[in-house]
A and B are shown apart, each in its own frame.
Chain A
C-alpha cells in the first residue's frame, strides 16, 4: 500500500501560543507529507471533518495527530483499522512543560514531529493473528470445590468445559468436610452442603465433560489451540481447548514435621482434616481407645506463620477451627473446648462466629504452644506461653488435640525444573521463589518448563494487586487454594472469576486480540528467521514463556501466548523480531531523525526512552501540573523497557546524542513492571552496556536508567534536570558531527 501521510497540527490548548506552528509545519514538508494542516480545535467537529475529508478525497491513509497526549481523545482520533495513526504529544510534553515562544521549545516540537513522521511512515496497518481450528472449550484441572464450581459456572455461561480429576470421585478436600462456615446470615450458624448433589449437578450438565481417575499427561500449544492429553485408566484421551483453569488445590502441611507439637506421639493428636473426616463419618471418638471425646483443644497455626515450616498465614484455619469447635459445642454445650492461637483471624462476618464461640464458653488462649504432653492418665495437657497473663498456661486435661495444619499448594510439590549451579562453598543454590517446580499438574510442553512459575512459597499467584488472575502463562489461570491460601467461600468466588478470565481469553484470542495488559492489541511479533543465530535469548527472556524452540534451537513463536511487550525484540541481537507498528529499525530511525546541533551550539541532546505504562503518564501529569524541565530531552515511548534493544543506545551515541535515559517501572521483589521481568531485564542489559561504554572510553554516565512510579510526577522534572546537568558536565559526545 502506498503511504499518503497527513499531518494535522492542533493549535488549541495553548499549543499555538507556545510553538511557532508555521515553522513546525515546515517539518512535514521535509518528510514529504502529502497534507499538512493546522486547526485551532482539532478534536472538534470541524477539525475531525477536515481529517475525514482528506481520508476520503485525498487518499490520506497515514495520519499524524500533533496535538494532545495519546492518553486523551483516544476514541476521537480513531479512524478505520486500515489507517495508521500516530499521536505526537505537543501539548502535555512540550507546550505545557516548556516556556512559550523559545527556540528550544520549537526544536523540541520539531523533533517530536520528525519522530512521529518516521514512525507513521514505517508502521503498517495491523492484521490480527487468527489461528486455525480454534477451540473455545475450557479445561479445568482439579475437581474439588474450585474446579467443580469453575466447570459448572462456565458451562452455565454457555461454554463447553472439560473437568479432569485425579481421584475416582469429585470433591477433593470436600469429601472429608462435614459442614461449612457461614457465608450468609445467620453468621453465627454453620452451613450444610451436599457434595453428592453438587457432583450430580456437574455430571448432569451437558456442557461439562468429566474425566475422573484421570491426569493431564501433557499440554501443548497455546491459547485457543491447547492440545491436551488426558490419561485415564491407562488410555489416553485428547482434547483441544482454548484456556485452562488450574484448580488442583492444596494439601495440608505434613503434620509429621510438627514434632514440637508432639504429632505422632499419641493417636489422640490429630489434624483438622482428620477431625473433619470423623464428623463426616459420624464417628467422633478418641483414636487411642475409641471412647467419646469429652474435651478438646485446638492448636492454631500448626506449621503456619512459622519460619521453620510455612512462613505465611494459611488464611482459612482460624475460621475452620472455630467451625470445628462449634461442632462440639452444638453436640454438647458443656464440652470443654480450648483454642490456642496467635491472632484470631476471623475477618468480615466470620467475626460473628468468633463472638458466638466466645458466648459458647470456648476458652481462648493467646500465645505460643510450648508442649503437648500426656498427663499420665492418657489424657493430654497443652502448655502455652500466655501473652495475656505473661505466664505459662496449661489446659485442663483433654481427650483430643486438633492441629490446624496449614495449606501447601499442590504446585509446590515437586523439584525445580532447572537446578541452579551450586554455590561457591559447594552448597546447593537456594531455589528461586519463581522457580518452575515439576509438580505433575499441567505438564506443559513449554521450553521454559512444565508448570506455572511460582510467585512465592510455590503459589503461582499474581503479583498484581489490581489483576489477581494474571499468571505468567497466557490463557492459564490458577484458581482456589493452589493460587493462594483461601477459605471455601473465597474459593468459590475465585473459581467464577477464573472461569470469566478463561472465557475472556478465548473470546479475545479467537479474534486475534491480546489479553491483559495490552488487552485488545492486534499487533504481534514477526520473526525474520533467515537471520536467526539460535542464540536463544528470545526464548529465555520472554516473561510469559511464549516462545518454544525446535530441535535446532530455532525459536517457535506462539502468537496467542504473546502479550506484545516486545521483550523478545529487545533481547534479539540480530534485530529480527518486529511488530508491524513497533520495531528495532523503526525506533532506530526515529532516533536517527532527531536533529542534533553541533557542539558549538551548546544544545546537548538527550534521548529519553519512556515506558508507556507508568513513566509516560507521569510525564503527562507533570505537564498537566505545569512542571517544566530541561528542553534537551527527546522522548520516545516504548512498550516496556524490556523491549529496548541495545542497538538504540549505539544508534543514539553514533548520532551524537549526548545522553540516554531510560524511565521505567520498579523492578525487584515488589516489581511494578506490567510485563513482570521487562524493567529488570533492561536493568541487566544496561549494566552490560555501561561496561562496554567504559571500554570505548565513552563515559558510562551518559546512560542512566531510573525507576519511576506513575505518581512521581512531582519528582520527574528534577530527575530529568539532574541528568541533563550530569550530561552537560561530561561535555559533548565525542562522536558528535561524525
Chain B
C-alpha cells in the first residue's frame, strides 16, 4: 500500500460500506490515490450484514468479494479500519484530515489463524447479530471479513485473559497496550459515505419494538435469514428460536410520517418483498401479510413485485397498522389494522412481525467535521455546500437502494476528481 504522496491526487473516502467501497475502487482505477476510512474492524458496512439483494436475490458478498479483490490488487488504495475522521481543515485540492485510529489490539502481523480466539474465554454479544448471539472476545468479524484480521474486544483488555490471548499468538500480532492515535493525512477531495442507520422504531410506541421480542426491524430480519446469522439462516423467533410460518411486514414504520421521517425511505417496499421470499422459500406453508400504503417498485423492480404478489401465500393489505400487541404466554404477536379496500378492521396473530424501518442518514447525528457543509432538515448532505471538495455519496445524500448508491458513489468520484484539479 503506497503512501499518498501527492495529496492533490488523493481522495479520502469516509465510510467503507457499499458507497465508500465503490467510490474507493472507482477512484483508484481512475488513477487516484485513495484513503478509505472505516469505523468498524472490517469493510462492507450495512450490506455485509444482509442476506440477499433484491430483485436478483443474490448474496451481497459476491459483489463485496469483487471489490475486495480490486482493493487487494490495487496499491493506490489504503484502507484504515477502526478509524474515524476527526477534523477536516483546508480547501478543495488541499485538505488536512485528522483520522482517529481506535485500537484493534491486533497488528498487521495477524495471519487470521484463530489461536487468539481459542485462548479467549469471555463471550461478548456478536456485533452483527443484535444481541441474539455471542462471540469470543477475540474474534474475526465474519468469514468474509476484509481485512481478514482478528479484533480483541476492549472488554477484556487489562485482564489476565488478555495476557493469555497475547501469549497464544505465535506471530506477535496481539498488542494489548495499543492506544488510540491520531494520524494526519492530506487529500485533495473528500467523499462522505457514512451511510445510514435504521430508524429506531421504538419511537412508535404502539408497535412495541424493543418491548416485544418477536417484533423485529427489517435490518434484524436480514440477520435472521443470513447463513452466518444467529440462527444459521433459518428464520426463527427471537423469543424461543422456533422457525416461523406466519409473518407480517409493516411498511412505512416511521417513514412517510410527519411525526417521524417525513420522507419515503425508498427501499423498504422492495426489502420487505424480498424478505417475504426468504420466508416463502424456507417454509412451504408460509403465510405472509404485507401491510402497506403504496408499493414503490420502480423500473424493472415491478417484475419482482409481480412475482411476489402472484405467490398465493402472500397477502397484500393496504392499510397502516394501528396497534401491535404481544401474547406473553406464547410470544404470538397481534396486528390490528384497517383494510382500506374493505373498510374492515383486521386483528390477526403472527409468529413474527417485521417493521420496515426507514433510513436515517448517519449525518443526521454525526455531522461532517468541517465547516461549510449544508444539510437538509433530515440530515442528508446537500450538494450546494459552501466547501467544494467535500462530496456526499450514497445514503448520506438520499435514501437509496444498492444500485442507486453505487451509481451515486461513482458520480461522486467524478466530482472529487474535479475538486482535486482546483
Contacts and interface: CB of A to CB of B under 8 A. Distances in A.
Contacts of B298: 313, 315, 345, 347, 485
Given A75-B75, A312-B299, A714-B232, A497 B418 contact: no
Interface stretch (B84-92, B109-117, B192-200, B202-210): B109-117
Contacts of B255: 351
A13 B300 CA distance: 48
**Majority DSSP secondary structure for residues of A touching B:** loop
B376 A349 contact: yes
Interface in A604-661: 613-614, 617, 621, 624-625
B398 A157 contact: no
A508 B29 contact: yes
Nearest to A520: B73
Contacts of A388: 318, 340-341
Interface string A38-52: 001101100000000
A347 B296 contact: yes
B384 interface: yes
B411 A349 contact: no
Nearest to A479: B407
A466 B300 contact: no
B123 interface: no
B399 interface: yes
A439 interface: no
A156 interface: yes
A672 B398 contact: no
Interface string A507-519: 1100000011101
Nearest to A714: B227
A465 interface: yes
B418 A466 contact: no
A198 B340 CA distance: 47
A74 B1 CA distance: 11
Contacts of B341: 387-388, 390
A728 interface: no
Given A315-B299, A490-B404, A466 B262 contact: no
Nearest to A344: B294
A464 B414 CA distance: 21
B133 interface: no
Interface in B40-84: 53, 56-67, 69-70, 72-75
A711 B227 contact: yes
Nearest to A73: B111
Interface string B166-194: 00001100000000000000000000000
A621 B262 contact: no
Contacts of A459: 300
B407 A493 contact: yes
A12 B171 contact: yes
Given A13-B112, A348-B264, A466-B402, A711 B417 contact: no
Contacts of A625: 143
A171 to B, nearest CB: 21
B408 interface: yes
B113 A465 contact: no
Contacts of B228: 711
A346 B65 contact: no
A493 B300 contact: no
Interface in A435-463: 456-457, 459, 461, 463
A140 B288 CA distance: 47
Contact of A157 (B25, B109, B384, B418): B418
Interface of A: 12-14, 40-41, 43-44, 68, 71-75, 153-154, 156-158, 184-185, 187, 305, 311-315, 343-352, 355, 387-388, 390, 456-457, 459, 461, 463-469, 484-486, 490, 493-497, 499-501, 503-504, 507-508, 515-517, 519-520, 613-614, 617, 621, 624-625, 666, 670, 672, 674, 709-714
Given A465-B56, A496-B411, A507-B31, 17 more contacts: A41-B171, A68-B111, A347-B264, A387-B341, A388-B318, A465-B58, A468-B404, A469-B410, A490-B407, A497-B408, A500-B413, A501-B410, A504-B30, A625-B143, A666-B58, A670-B58, A674-B66
Q: Which 8 A-B pairs have the closest CB atoms?
A: A466-B63, A496-B411, A497-B410, A343-B294, A13-B113, A74-B72, A347-B266, A351-B264
